[in-house]
Structure 1
Amino acid sequence: MIQLLFTLIFTEMLLIMIFSFKTPLRKLAILGLDRVKQGRGPVMIKTVAGTIFVVMLSSFYSMMDIQNRTVESGVVNPTDQVLMGNHLLEASLMGFSLFLALMIDRLHHYIRELRLLRKSMEAVRKDRISEEGQNPEDIKALEKESARIKAKIEKLKAQNEIKVKKAKVEAIQ
């Protein structure tokens, strides 16, 4: 059981790492989760999560039972210590696995929401540009022309300052 939980946790951590960086695997993982969340997928996931939660509570109950047995007898039994450690490890791994599953769900939701917001912003931007009657190529051409004219103005200002300085020098002589 412990090996299975470690495998599950490392798989969930890998999926979170895939979601963290924009790679082709991220898009594939999002599409996979979209497919899992359709149809009977959510019911199955909730059932598995509920089962893991119940088994985790059972481990906690077993730990409390071992603790009460140790307190009543007053003697620490090595077998009980091993069982206590085993139950503690299982419960911790199950809780961490449930936490990572919740994190994956939220990351998936936020990434999808971000993608939808970007698409809607792009649509609004295109609508605004079309309402102004100018296409993006014209706007870029005007920006380039503006930059060229600003550079020319700066050059002319520098030439004007040089001429003014020459005129002052000639006036002094």
Structure 2
Amino acid sequence: MINLLFTVVFTEMAVILILLFRTPVRKLVIMAIDQLKQGKGPLVAKTVATTLIVVFTSVLHNALQIRKRLLDAGAVNSADEVLMVERILEASLLGFSLFQALMIDRLHCYIKELLQIRTELEEVKRLN
């Protein structure tokens, strides 16, 4: 699961970088996101986000249980430490992935608004 989460995080980073800089690829990414936001896309995105939040909460709960078990035992168990580190890594990757998805959505909205304002300004300049 960690490999999949790293792939998702790096893919989202690439999309954010594409959206930040004005390149020919940005137009294609904006059009793709527009297509995803039409029809059943928002419902699917909300379902996936909700599932990720539930998994995120479960992983955090697991990590807290392992920590509690470590504190109750008094002695450090290396297997529990490895499990704890793995759960924390999973939780941090899931949280970062959710945050990046939110960033992609906001960047898309801001770019669309910016393009709309620019076209309106060009029309006003042309009319004057």
What TM-score bracket applies, with the shorter chain setting the length? Answer: over 0.9
Structure 2 gaps of 5+ residues are none
Looking at structure 1, the residues matched to 70 and 5 of structure 2 have their Cα atoms a distance apart, in angstroms, of: 28
Looking at structure 1, the residues matched to 111 and 121 of structure 2 have their Cα atoms a distance apart, in angstroms, of: 15
RMSD: 0.8
Q: How does 1:90-109 map to 2 (within 5 A)?
A: 90-109=90-109
Q: What's the CA shift for 1:24?
A: 1.0
Report which stretch shifted further, 105-114 or 63-72: 63-72
Aligned residue-pair number: 128
Higher relative contact order (CA 8 A, sep 6+): 2
Greater C-alpha Rg? 1
Question: 3-state SS of the aligned residue for 1:90?
Answer: helix
Could you list the runs of 4 or more consecutive aligned residues of structure 1 that deviate by over 3 angstroms after TM superposition? none
Q: For residue 62 of structure 2, what is the aligned residue in structure 1?
A: 62
Task: Encode CA deviations 1:24-63: one digit per residue, 9 max, x unaligned.
Answer: 1000000000000001101111111111111111111001
Q: What's the CA shift for 1:127?
A: 2.0
| Matched letter for residue 9 of structure 1 | V
Identical-residue share of aligned pairs (%)? 52
Structure 1 gaps of 5+ residues are 129-173
Task: Encode CA deviations 1:130-160: one digit per residue, 9 max, x unaligned.
Answer: xxxxxxxxxxxxxxxxxxxxxxxxxxxxxxx
